[in-house]
Amino acid sequence: MPEKSLAVFEGKQIRRHYDEVTETWYFSVVDIVQALILQPDYQTARKYWNKLKERLKTEGSQLVTNCHQLKMLADD
């Protein structure tokens, strides 16, 4: 199983990472949000996700945890 690869959703590339020790896939949430809101600009999608996390936290959602972002390869 490759450690790093891309998934394709609705024609958009989604960065992902496979941890062989825990047998767990990690996906870039910003890439998924970018595909879902049909946003061509990565920075706008990142800001959208940050605002959504903020709103979910104020509503008491436990889905958003206080964790650091993983470094993932990007085109730039």
Handedness of CA 66, 62, 33, 52 (dihedral sign): negative
**Intra-chain end-to-end CA distance of the chain, in Å:** 25
Q: Residue 8: pLDDT above 90?
A: no
Span 42-47, average pLDDT: 92
Delimit the domains of the chain by residue range.
Answer: 4-58
Residues contacting residue 72 through CB under 8 Å, at least 6 positions apart: 4, 15, 17, 28
Q: What mean pLDDT value characterizes the chain?
A: 82
Q: What pLDDT score does 1 carry?
A: 47
- pTM (predicted TM-score): 0.73
Name residue 17's amino acid: H
